[in-house]
């Protein structure tokens, strides 16, 4: 059985949880309490020197990057190729949007959330909010070209980005009139049962925590 070391607050963890639901992966979910620094304990560091979550363990294989984990889960457990196409060019487009999530979306979330947790800031600097707003604009432009981020089908890139974007919405509300395609994309994914099961509870917990820090 696959083991997923995760935190429900963590968007990368939630993306992997959504994928496990989607691909019917037999998985044991193991909560790692970041506030109690369980990710810094020696037994966890043996699995992941970077002390980040999630960590996916499948037998002797240990993957400590959520995007690599999504790729692996889709390849090994996915029955429907459209989520991570085998075609080289189509797969490159999915990878491109996965890297967009890892290099643009998630860092802009982390730049705010990390300071809320570790530094106790009460106000989000405007430059950080402007960076989030810019990211919303990127997504809107992508969705003006294809129905979903990488193609006209849902892929693991949508799963990764959705977990991040719904977390960004806690910090900066989306202007639905300005970004109608992004709003429609969010509503489309939100209604899917595997997304609800993997993302909704952790997102709500994260929302309460962040709001309490900003209050």
What average pLDDT is seen over the chain?
94
For 98-133, the pLDDT digits (tens) are: 999 999 999 999 999 888 877 777 788 999 999 999
What is the span of the domain harbouring residue 43? 2-81
- Could you tell me the two tokens for 59? 């037998």
**Judgement on whether residues 113 and 192 belong to the same structural domain of the protein:** yes
**Judgement on whether residues 162 and 125 belong to the same structural domain of the protein:** yes
This prediction has a pTM of 0.95
**Judgement on whether residues 73 and 88 belong to the same structural domain of the protein:** no
**Judgement on whether residues 155 and 101 belong to the same structural domain of the protein:** yes
**Judgement on whether residues 68 and 110 belong to the same structural domain of the protein:** no
- Cα gap 110→10, rounded to integer Å: 10
pLDDT of residue 215: 64
Distances (CA, A) of 141 to 42, 76, 168: 44, 32, 18
How many domains, the chain? 2
- Secondary structure of residue 143 in the 3-state scheme: helix
CA gyration radius, the chain:
17
* Helix 106-118 vs helix 11-22: crossing angle, to nearest 10: 130
**Percent with pLDDT over 70 in the chain:** 99
- Cα gap 138→115, rounded to integer Å: 24
On the question of pLDDT at 190 being above 80, the answer is: yes
**Judgement on whether residues 189 and 92 belong to the same structural domain of the protein:** yes
The b-or-e profile of 100-124 (16+ CB within 10 A means b, else e) is: bbbebbbebbeebbeebeeeeeeeb
Domain CATH for 67: 3.40.30.10
């Amino acid at each position: 059985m696959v083991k997923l070391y995760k935190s429900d607050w963590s968007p990368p963890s939630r993306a992997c949880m959504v994928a496990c639901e989607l691909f019917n992966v037999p998985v044991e979910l193991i909560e790692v309490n970041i506030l109690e620094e369980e990710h810094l304990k020696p037994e966890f560091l043996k699995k992941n020197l970077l002390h980040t979550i999630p960590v996916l363990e499948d037998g002797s294989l240990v993957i400590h990057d959520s995007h690599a984990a999504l790729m692996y889960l889709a390849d090994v457990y996915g029955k429907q190729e459209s989520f991570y196409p085998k075609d080289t060019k189509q797969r490159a487009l999915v990878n491109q949007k996965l890297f967009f999530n890892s290099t643009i979306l998630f860092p802009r979330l982390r730049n705010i959330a990390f300071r809320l947790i570790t530094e106790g800031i009460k106000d989000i600097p405007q430059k950080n909010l402007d960076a989030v707003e810019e990211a919303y604009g990127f997504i809107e432009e992508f969705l003006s070209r294809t129905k979903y981020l990488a193609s006209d089908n849902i892929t693991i890139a949508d799963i990764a980005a959705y977990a991040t974007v719904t977390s960004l919405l806690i910090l900066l509300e989306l202007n639905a009139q300005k970004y109608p395609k992004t709003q429609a994309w969010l509503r489309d994914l939100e209604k899917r049962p595997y997304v609800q099961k993997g993302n909704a509870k952790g997102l709500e917990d994260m929302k309460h925590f962040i709001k309490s820090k900003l209050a």
